[in-house]
Amino acid sequence: MRFYSGMLRGHWSLVIWILLSGVLTGCLSSSQEATLTAPGSPPQVWPPPPHRPRIRFVKVLARPEDLGIQPSFWQRVGEVFAGKEEAWFVRPTGVAADGGVVYVADAGAQALWVLDARAGRFQRFRDAGGPRLVSPVAVAAGKNGQVFLADSYLARVFVYDAGGKLTGSIAGPDLRRPTGLAYDAGRDRLYVADSASHRVWIFGGDGSLRGALGRRGTGEGEFNFPTHVALDREGTLYVTDSLNFRVQLIRPDGSVAGRLGRHGDSSGDFAAPKGISLDADGHIYVVDGLFDAVQIFDRRGRYLLTFGERGIAPGQFWLPNGLFIDGRNQIYVADAFNQRIQIFEYLGGGDDE
């Protein structure tokens, strides 16, 4: 497939801080006014006309009501006795979706949001088995409604069942700052990017340690602050190797399958690579927090397209972080400092152009 290519504009101040924001910091918040969008704005597509559109803006998700979800009876009763707490995202850094349910790791609200539009309900969890969550930054869906949530400050991955009950946690003396999660249901493997140890840990769904990938370095199979991970249908792992300014591809057997990206400020380069995911055609999407954009590559690592820019309007970002693409090619971007999730759609098109 040949996408229309556009150039990126780099923003070079505070590179290291931005790369690690949401990983090394605690809670931050910004005005909820940043979530407001212009009513009646027409849908946005990338690339712009007259080129064939490949990506379409769908909607902004900043609170449950944006999915048509209203507080339940018991939630309203709780508001009467405990005081009303506004149901807005504060600093969403991780997102996943499964079976019509959207999961949001909100480091600013110190909570996991579970938004079920079909059932018309939402839940907000803060339980960490005694203490509360501190810095939940990444989320992944497991089997049968199971949810994995990484708290970078507590150095644990918490496990919740379909009802939101905390059923366990994954920890260890060498797990230091978990920041990215990906679950392989076929192999029952949970991959955890650990930025502080410069490794990717491999656990079973039951929390048993099965191995580790990498060490600190710049060579093949080595990492320098890995932050996010994603899987393709064959089980190949894609690791955002943030301070090496690249994405590395790791086969299920642990061997390196390739890499993409380099440090720079041109199209296809990286300044602050973060969230990563793949669409149904195998295209690779990478958030760049410094460019305030998402770049798309083909399976050979060739740059195809960029969408997004700095701003607060639909299709614009402010320090975006996590990224997830569901089975319907809906693209969820955690637009962290705009306090929202933006939803886009990959329109397909094949390899005919």
Which amino acid does the sequence have at 24? Answer: L
Contact call for residues 218 and 246 (beta carbons, < 8 A): no
Residue 42's pLDDT is what?
A: 53
pLDDT tens digits for range 177-235: 999 999 999 999 999 999 999 999 999 999 999 999 999 999 999 999 999 999 999 99
Residue 226's pLDDT is what?
A: 98
Lowest mean pLDDT among 82-91, 118-127, 313-322: 82-91
* Of the candidates 188, 184, 211, the residue with the CA atom closest to the CA atom of residue 200: 211
Q: How confident is the model at residue 82 (pLDDT cuts 50, 70, 90)?
A: very low
Residue 37's pLDDT is what?
A: 42
**Alpha-carbon span 242 to 227, nearest angstrom:** 6
The more confidently predicted of residues 122 and 36 is: 122
b/e 107-144 (16+ beta carbons within 10 angstroms → b): bbbbbbbbbbbeeeebbbbeebeeeebbbbbbbbbbee
pTM exceeds 0.85:
yes
pLDDT tens digits for range 7-59: 444 444 344 444 444 443 333 333 333 334 444 455 599 999 999 999 999 99
